[in-house]
Structures are given as C-alpha cells and as structure tokens.
Structure 1
Amino acid sequence: MNIGQAAKQSGISAKMIRYYEEIGLLQTPKRTDAGYRMYNEQDIKTLNFIQHSRKLGFSTEQMKELLGLWKNQDRQSAEVKQLTQKHIDVLNQKITDLQAMVNTLQQSVNCCAGDQQAECVILNQIEQGAHSS
C-alpha cells in the first residue's frame, strides 16, 4: 500500500509517517520503481504501536526502546516493566507539578476581586513568583 493508504489505515498523517521514518521510529519502506513508498501490514502494526505509545506520553527515545523490545522476541518483560515504571514516575511527578500549578492559580483566582479595578491580585502574584508548596 502507498503512504496515503497507510495513513488512512493507521490514522497517522503521511507527513508524520515520513517524520517517523526520518527519526528512525519506522524503518524506511521499500519503494516502487517509480520511487513511491510501499507499506505492508507489519508497517501498519508498527505505526499503530507508535501511535498508542505516543498517546501514553512516551518520548521518542522511549518509543525507540519500546519498539526494539516489542520486536525482540528474546526480550525479558522485566526490561519493559522497568522502562514503563520510569515513565509512570515521570508522569506522577508531572501530575504533582500540575496540581501545584492549579492550586497556585486557584488561590490567586479566589483572592481576585474580578471587578472593574485595574488592581489584579493574579498579575501581582505572577509578578512576584508566588507559588504553592
């Protein structure tokens, strides 16, 4: 199938497919005599794997590692678990950081009069670098 068909089947744009090839997430496909890319079912499975990994927030480097583990039938699941646990730890830290941001902003909003005056507690707190701990 050509890149348009692969894009339609995988739900990934042709531009992103070319990008994934460029950065090494997807192997360079075979080409026709005319130079058109030709994708097979395994390429579609790989694209789906990449898309699902992206939706789970894995970085490009992590996706490369996951793809290598996915394709390696001699892998140990412990490697996959370790990589995933590191990712979970990073996500949990991001959640903590985002919750702290929400708390800070909520405190600012709660203190803001929200009226016609120019004085703004929110802007003052941002200027001062106020944050929740």
Structure 2
Amino acid sequence: MVDRVSLTAEAAELLRRLTELHGPLMFHQSGGCCDGSSPMCYPDGEFKTGNADIQLGELDVDGLDKPISFWMSKNQFEYWKHTHLTVDVVKGRGSGFSVEAPEGVRFLIRSRLFSDQESADLGLL
C-alpha cells in the first residue's frame, strides 16, 4: 500500500509535544490565501471537514495513542493526487491558526511526484 502522506522525525517529535498540550490533533492542507499553502494543525475535530474534503491518510506517530488524520479539499486533491506529501517542520512563524504557531516553528510540506510503480498501485495510470 502506498502512503500519500508521511512525517519527518522532527515533525513527529513536535506532534508528540503538541499532543501533550492540546490533545489529539489533525491536519488540513491549506489551499492558499492568507496562510499560503501550509499544512494547518488543529485539535482533532476543531476544523470541520465535510463533503468537500478528502482524508489522505492517518499519520501514526510513535508514542501517541491515536493517529493524526490528514485532510485536503477535494478540489485541491485533483491538482496534488500525483504527489506524495511529507510533513516537515522548520524554524519561523506560521499561521496564527495552527497550533504550532506559538512554538516559533511551522509545519511545511515537502513533495515529490509518485513513481510510476506508486502511481500504478494507486490506480493513477
């Protein structure tokens, strides 16, 4: 099975700390506007998903009881469906709406196109 989204070790460590502060978490990949295209991290359920969103996966983080769901709007997914996303963390302040903002860091997406084999496994070819 091909994962559409994964984490760096640094992002996983930050998510463990943020979970201690805020409880279970979730991501929604922003489509732009005031927060650019950053993955936004919220307490689980605080961002209301609906029929216009798709869940790309669940991120298992060692030490956490519950996986962290990762969502994106269906419209944006049409542009990104051929792309693997890796959640990373870098120094700098992100959006005030995402729970990592007070920590002096921000989540960042690193992306790559799926290989031909991964695309075939996902039914994209």
Q: Do these two structures clear the TM 0.5 threshold for a shared fold by scoring above it? A: no
TM-score (norm. length: structure 1): 0.22
Q: Between the two structures, name the one with larger relative contact order (CA 8 Å, sep ≥ 6).
A: 2
| Higher CA-based Rg | 1
Higher helix fraction (1 or 2) = 1
Structure 1 or 2: larger strand share?
A: 2
